[in-house]
Structure 1
Amino acid sequence: MRFDLLGPLAVHRGDRLIPLGSVKQRLLLAALLLRPNETVGTDELVPMLWADEPPPSAAANLRTYVRGLRRLLGEERIPTAAGGYLLAVRPGERDLDRFDAAAARGRDALTAGDAVRAETELAEAVTLWRGAPLADLPSHPLLTRWVAQLQEQRLLAEEDYAEAMLAQGASAAVVGRLRALLDEHPLRQRAWSQLMLGLYRIGDVAGALDAFQQARQILAEETGLDPAPQLIRLYDDILHHRPSLVANGFTSSGEPTPDATSPATPGSGGRRPEQLPLAVPQFVGRATELARLNALLDREGPATVVISAVSGMAGVGKTALALHWSHRVSDRFPDGQLYVNLHGYDEAEVAFPDDALQGFLEALGVPPSRIPTSTEARTGLYRSLLASRRMLVVLDNARDASQVRPLLPGAGGCLVVVTSRDRLADLVAAEGAEPLRLDVLTDDESMSLLAGRLGATRLATDPEAVTDIIAATGRLPLALSMVAARVATHPTFPLDAIAAELHSTEARLDVLADGDVRRVFSRSYLALSPPAARLFRLLGLHPGPDLSADAAAALAGVPTAAVVPPLRELTRLHLLTEHTPGRYTFHDLLRVYAAELADSSEHAGERRAGRQRLYDHYLHGAYPAAVLLQPQWAPIEPVPPLPGVIRRPATDHDAALAWFTAEHRVLLRMVRQAADSGFEAYAWQLAWTLNTFVAPRGLWQDQLAIQQVALTAAEKIDDLAGQATANRLLSRAFTRLGEHEDAEHRLRRALDLYRNLNDPTGQAQTLHNYCELCFLGGRLDEALTHAREALRLYRMVDNRSGAARALNAIGWLLATTGEYNQAIESCTAALAEQRRSNDRNGQAATLDSIGFAYDRLGDHARAVDCYQQAIQLFRDTADRYHEAETLVRLGDSRETMGDKAGAIAAWRQAARIYDDVDDPAIDEALRRIERLTETTAGPCGASG
């Protein structure tokens, strides 16, 4: 079945068009299609069908329309749901979903420089459009907003398609499409620049220059603004016939040219980060403050770093001002924008300078494995990268000057905006920051904010109550916004009743610092039902960044079904956001407020019990998933599960992988939080489970961070097994990051601990890891000694899986020393055992070793066969890092066989994986591709 929304509403079963009946029935179907697989409440559907005047029989009529749709679509498509109706839609059945997917693939291809694939994908996306979305349905505010958003997505896809066509040399075709687009949407400056470029390339230079003049005139008449700097630069390039216009950054094959200046990446080389979050909608007032920020732009210079320190009380709108202004002037900073929320007043999530620097360096294109470990070194690298760039840096919610200083550029034409509750006097005195203190809104601005959210008509019903609301909220933007949300979600409540609530003396948490904000929060909190209020408090214990309904149920100590109603209540009142289906997140300030409630003395018992249930939920969800991901790893003995809890652990490899994919960001925080809150055993064991996910992906920095926390936690409670495990896994991270001395220290410590524990399996695992470290250091005899001792220990305890992996390690070492036949013999024995035990990851590693030995013996065809089997097994087990290593060796064998195209294809696959995991091995893969590409082209190029 196909549901088509990108034009008149249409439904097809196979090739047959299904008649959809009356307008009301089609409106109902549209409402359900806008929220597929989600229960849409009857109270939402009735206004959709009858606007503000539903008939007395509206509910009965709605049921009639539902029955009609069930007859047309099938009973199973609209199952019974409490409180409303749900339309079951399968993946790919909506043309909208196919459009989104194709457009996303096209943008990814553009980013990767693959113009051929980008054009194909984007052509698929734009051809799905048959006209205005739902063009045959009557206007409704919900539909109008949705259509406007979708039209914007369409225009972006059209512009991306034009970019891909230009890269492919289809300039004439682009000109025609863009003229039609601009006739309807004349304010699209990106489309004007593409039209100018297309006209220039077909030889119509006068037309390109005339297009610029048209754009300038339209912008002036419609907006009063000049063209964007990028459009002006393009006009100047066309006037001077600059060479970069000929190829637009792409060769005829769609590959990026080495020295082209793409409009998307102006300025100096490297990535162009655009990290600004979405600006607050319906921003009001602040004319004086915006003018002072604008004045800072005139102070920019090639060697000047301009700093603005925006300070004020919590909720006064510092972030809103900073983001609103930053978006307005972003075009003045051609090298991009960096943004970080420093969570300065959130002790649970405070961003330390070295963590913020890590994020900035990654955004600037530095692979995680190349980022220095010390704050000083990171600051030096960061300042070096920014020295020749013009960037806007927004440091939001800083605690004090010391948190900010390492994040300040040292030179270059950058501008920094810092927001903080602190006045940052030290930053003003020492770094010459321009102070900008933000006060509450004026009465007129407060009125404008409420009118923007609620409409002037609503306010006119009781102007005296509106005046009371503004006074009671202290004209604080956050408080006004929350009151506006309460009024909007209760349209039948009189405004004087809302005003009376705000004047109530029954406020809680008045003793806390920012009384106005917390007073508004407390009113929303006190309005909750008891289950929702309790859940809200408990959610403050979760470290974020988001959580599932199952995690919320664990915190509350109730079945998942029982937690769904309070979750809905919290999301309805905007105290929680369901940012993706089934996953919830807090606004930062609301998380702080909930945590303060949970930390109050009256909830001390509830707090500790809730935390234990939370860690129990994640550990006993992660542990079975970890065993499914790495079934041959020696297991740990987890903390016993709490009794009486219904669990839904993953039951197969794919489910385990999906669980970790959804939860790994949570687990990274959970490890640290458990260690800090007195649950050290949970901390090191969660770290062990997470290692089964991050290690195969080459996420060595994550592995390093969690195992450092795990080791400290295990040492704190004198847990020798935990210390041994953490030391061993810490050594693996150090090894992969090139810190071999630290890795060896941790391996020796792990060996000592396993010996004290009389744990031969642990000793064997550690010796196996030691073997790899010695091999990397060129100590081959020592590596072989460790591998053979590991084999002896594994056999002593009849650990056949471990013994097989040790046999493979021995075989690999023999192959690297030229003992190829012995290597094959050892690895063949390993492979037989691994096939018996279905150790797919072990088989992959062993086949890779056998392939290496056959390659060195000159039997390249057999080597290729082994490598291909290994690659497939690595993919089956989601071991991307080792898949890339084998792909490199496969390419080497294919090159030796004279299959240059096959070699390049393998190396490109490896390079993509290394790029995904930010591993420096990508450089060697790219060098191989470049070398062979040059050899293939010959001295006269590809056709020579």
Structure 2
Amino acid sequence: MNSIGERIGVEVSLRGAFDLSYESLAPEQARTYRRLAWHPGVEITPLIASRLTGDALPKSEKALRDLARQHLLIEQTPGRYRFHDLLRLHAEEKAAEHENDEAKEEGIARLARTFAELSIAADIALRPYVTSRIVKVDPAFADAAQAARWLDAEKGNLVDLIDLAGRHDLFQETLWLAEGLWSLFLHHGQAHLWLRAGEAAVLAARRSEDERTLGRLLNKRALVHSHLGRVEEAMADLAAAEEIWSRREEWKRVAQTRQRRGTLALEHGDLQEAVGFLEDALAADEHTGAEHHRAVTLFLLGRAHLATGSPEKALGFLERALPPLENSVYNRARARIALGSTLLTLSRPEEARREVEAALREMVEHGSGPGQSEAWEVLGEIHEHQGDLGAARTAYENALESLDEKDPARRRVQERLDGSG
């Protein structure tokens, strides 16, 4: 038998075995098996099964255990399952044969809505200071750490669900899912993952003619492009967003966009331009009374003045920024790291170390790898300033370990490590 004939024979044999296993299932198990094929992601949980079938969670938990015992699912870790690739295809065939379009649309809508609401709940737990959310949902997580763990565990499923929701014209769910994933980029550096989600969300906003949401997404996508060093793409998104906000006379959003333009200029060495954008943003913040945004602008102005060689000015802005950031752990920690750099420049290393060590503890508590890396990097500079090269190398090594493999900051930290001995 030639290789093609052998392959066909194997496929026919496997299909027969799959059919036999399927036909031995109880009706409710068979329905769960079929409908799991509608889930676009790799990992399957009882919640996903429950949403696709409409069954209660305990019933779905039992169904998944039964399917795993009959070798129609693989239990990767406790409570998390997946299909073998060929079994997924078999389940898709059975769903096409036995399920109708109405049941499929209802199942996908339930799944997308549940995960969209959980995403918003996670974002609320991680960023309680945000007051501009269009939607509010009931709390689903005990604290920020639990929300971060859930987002990390489900990130692959969430991105796949964004694509699925967009294809099924579930625009609201698409946008909520992307909103929830924002914290994964902002606090955990998941830039490429968010760009994939963001593309689907931008498309959904345009298709639904939701101009306001489109402006918000363009602002966010610009920040991700900036993180990846894609300056032209970031500036283009910011210009498009600012045009939307100016046309709508949403001055808080104009201030936010100006702040991001200043941040982008600062990160890429256009220091005077950065100061100009940030001063414009601060004036707008003073006018609108957006306290948290004003505090972040003050923090960024502190960084900008430090970069221009004016540490005394930087110190003033940073000291003004810290009190309003009391309830924002992540941004307060960022400001303390910048304050540590400023104090080091002013030859006050012990004060600098106290600020940065406190910021590091906050970044660890918050679970932010990039934030921990930034703190370790400044601690390395402080140790170098004090002549302790061994401690400096350890700090830079810790900074590298805290970064994702694709994070552009790795190159800078590696250069510091190489230069420390």
Same fold by TM-score, threshold 0.5 exceeded? yes
Shift of 1:614: 0.5
Deviation string, structure 1 residues 133-174 (Cα, Å, up to 9, x no partner):
xxxxxxxxxxxxxxxxxxxxxxxxxxxxxxxxxxxxxxxxxx
1:477 aligns with 2:10: yes
Q: 1:604 to 1:548 in 2, by over 3 A?
A: same
Which runs of 4 or more aligned residues in structure 1 lie more than 6 Å from their structure 2 counterparts after TM superposition? none
Q: Which residue is equivalent to 2:357? A: 868
Q: Which residue is equivalent to 1:672? A: 163
1:613 aligns with 2:113: no
Measure the CA separation in 1 of the matches of 2:122 and 2:269. 36
Q: Which one of 815, 822, 832 corresponds to residue 306 of structure 2?
A: 815
Shift of 1:588: 1.2
Q: Which residue is equivalent to 2:4? A: 438
Q: Which residue is equivalent to 1:567? A: 64
1:903 aligns with 2:392: yes
1:532 aligns with 2:29: yes
Q: Which one of 632, 656, 665 corresponds to residue 129 of structure 2?
A: 632
Amino acid at match of 1:798: G
SS in 2 for 1:578: strand
Deviation string, structure 1 residues 675-723 (Cα, Å, up to 9, x no partner):
1222233223212211211332222222222212211121111111321
Q: Which one of 225, 230, 238 corresponds to residue 747 of structure 1?
A: 238
Q: Which one of 303, 315, 336 corresponds to residue 824 of structure 1?
A: 315
Aligned residues: 421
Q: Which one of 855, 859, 877 corresponds to residue 344 of structure 2?
A: 855
SS in 2 for 1:636: coil
Deviation string, structure 1 residues 370-398 (Cα, Å, up to 9, x no partner):
xxxxxxxxxxxxxxxxxxxxxxxxxxxxx
SS in 1 for 2:296: helix
Q: Which one of 733, 755, 767 corresponds to residue 258 of structure 2?
A: 767
Q: Which residue is equivalent to 1:734? A: 225
Q: Which has the higher contact order (CA 8 A, sep 6+)?
A: 2
Shift of 1:875: 1.7
Shift of 1:731: 0.8
Q: 1:651 to 1:754 in 2, by over 3 A?
A: farther
Shift of 1:895: 0.7
Amino acid at match of 1:531: E
Which has the higher Rg, Structure 1 or Structure 2? 1
Given that 2:292 and 2:324 are in contact with CA atoms closer than 8 Å, whether structure 1 keeps it comes out as yes
Q: 1:744 to 1:571 in 2, by over 3 A?
A: same
Amino acid at match of 2:251: P
Given that 1:695 and 1:703 are in contact with CA atoms closer than 8 Å, whether structure 2 keeps it comes out as no
Matches within 5 A, 1:791-940: 791-835=282-326, 838-914=327-403, 916-933=404-421
Q: 1:809 to 1:923 in 2, by over 3 A?
A: closer
Measure the CA separation in 1 of the matches of 2:23 and 2:287. 64
Shift of 1:891: 1.1
Deviation string, structure 1 residues 627-682 (Cα, Å, up to 9, x no partner):
212223455324x88xxxxx882221121111112101111211112212222332
Given that 2:337 and 2:374 are in contact with CA atoms closer than 8 Å, whether structure 1 keeps it comes out as no
Measure the CA separation in 2 of the matches of 1:771 and 1:790. 8
Shift of 1:566: 2.2
Q: 1:555 to 1:761 in 2, by over 3 A?
A: farther
Q: Which residue is equivalent to 1:7? A: none
Q: Which one of 711, 715, 740 corresponds to residue 202 of structure 2?
A: 711
Matches within 5 A, 1:190-339: none
Shift of 1:909: 0.7
Shift of 1:797: 4.0
Measure the CA separation in 2 of the matches of 1:566 and 1:880. 37
Amino acid at match of 2:83: F
Given that 2:121 and 2:139 are in contact with CA atoms closer than 8 Å, whether structure 1 keeps it comes out as no
Amino acid at match of 2:414: L
Q: 1:674 to 1:873 in 2, by over 3 A?
A: same
Q: 1:757 to 1:532 in 2, by over 3 A?
A: farther
Matches within 5 A, 1:639-654: 649-654=140-145
SS in 1 for 2:81: strand
SS in 2 for 1:438: helix
Measure the CA separation in 1 of the matches of 2:86 and 2:130. 42
SS in 1 for 2:39: coil
Measure the CA separation in 2 of the matches of 1:928 and 1:564. 50
Amino acid at match of 1:661: D
Q: 1:708 to 1:797 in 2, by over 3 A?
A: same
Given that 1:884 and 1:913 are in contact with CA atoms closer than 8 Å, whether structure 2 keeps it comes out as yes
Given that 2:119 and 2:179 are in contact with CA atoms closer than 8 Å, whether structure 1 keeps it comes out as no
Measure the CA separation in 2 of the matches of 1:556 and 1:748. 45
Measure the CA separation in 1 of the matches of 2:278 and 2:305. 11
Given that 1:699 and 1:917 are in contact with CA atoms closer than 8 Å, whether structure 2 keeps it comes out as no
Measure the CA separation in 1 of the matches of 2:79 and 2:379. 42
Q: Which residue is equivalent to 1:557? A: 54
Given that 1:625 and 1:653 are in contact with CA atoms closer than 8 Å, whether structure 2 keeps it comes out as yes
SS in 2 for 1:579: strand
* TM-score normalized with structure 1 length: 0.43
Matches within 5 A, 1:401-440: 437-440=3-6
Shift of 1:560: 0.4
SS in 2 for 1:889: helix
Shift of 1:565: 2.9
SS in 2 for 1:806: helix
Measure the CA separation in 2 of the matches of 1:778 and 1:720. 32
Q: 1:714 to 1:598 in 2, by over 3 A?
A: farther
Shift of 1:844: 0.7
Given that 1:911 and 1:925 are in contact with CA atoms closer than 8 Å, whether structure 2 keeps it comes out as yes
Measure the CA separation in 2 of the matches of 1:598 and 1:724. 39
Shift of 1:522: 4.1
SS in 2 for 1:898: coil
Measure the CA separation in 2 of the matches of 1:849 and 1:724. 30
Measure the CA separation in 2 of the matches of 1:593 and 1:549. 20
Q: Which residue is equivalent to 1:513? A: none
SS in 1 for 2:420: helix
Percent identity, aligned pairs only? 25
Q: 1:875 to 1:759 in 2, by over 3 A?
A: farther
1:593 aligns with 2:90: yes
- Report which stretch shifted further, 562-571 or 615-624: 562-571
Measure the CA separation in 1 of the matches of 2:163 and 2:209. 18
Deviation string, structure 1 residues 750-806 (Cα, Å, up to 9, x no partner):
122233444334333322221111112332233223223333444444332222111
Given that 2:278 and 2:301 are in contact with CA atoms closer than 8 Å, whether structure 1 keeps it comes out as yes
SS in 2 for 1:814: helix
Shift of 1:880: 1.3
Q: 1:600 to 1:479 in 2, by over 3 A?
A: closer
Measure the CA separation in 2 of the matches of 1:920 and 1:733. 12
Measure the CA separation in 2 of the matches of 1:576 and 1:563. 13
Deviation string, structure 1 residues 249-298 (Cα, Å, up to 9, x no partner):
xxxxxxxxxxxxxxxxxxxxxxxxxxxxxxxxxxxxxxx9xxxxxxxxxx
Shift of 1:724: 1.3
Superposition RMSD on alpha carbons, in Å? 2.4
Given that 1:771 and 1:783 are in contact with CA atoms closer than 8 Å, whether structure 2 keeps it comes out as yes
Q: Which residue is equivalent to 1:15? A: none
Measure the CA separation in 2 of the matches of 1:748 and 1:611. 36
Shift of 1:599: 4.1
Q: Which residue is equivalent to 1:657? A: 148
Given that 2:166 and 2:174 are in contact with CA atoms closer than 8 Å, whether structure 1 keeps it comes out as yes
SS in 2 for 1:825: helix
Amino acid at match of 1:870: A
SS in 2 for 1:741: helix
Deviation string, structure 1 residues 587-641 (Cα, Å, up to 9, x no partner):
1122223233434585111010001001011111111112212223455324x88
- Report which stretch shifted further, 826-835 or 521-530: 521-530
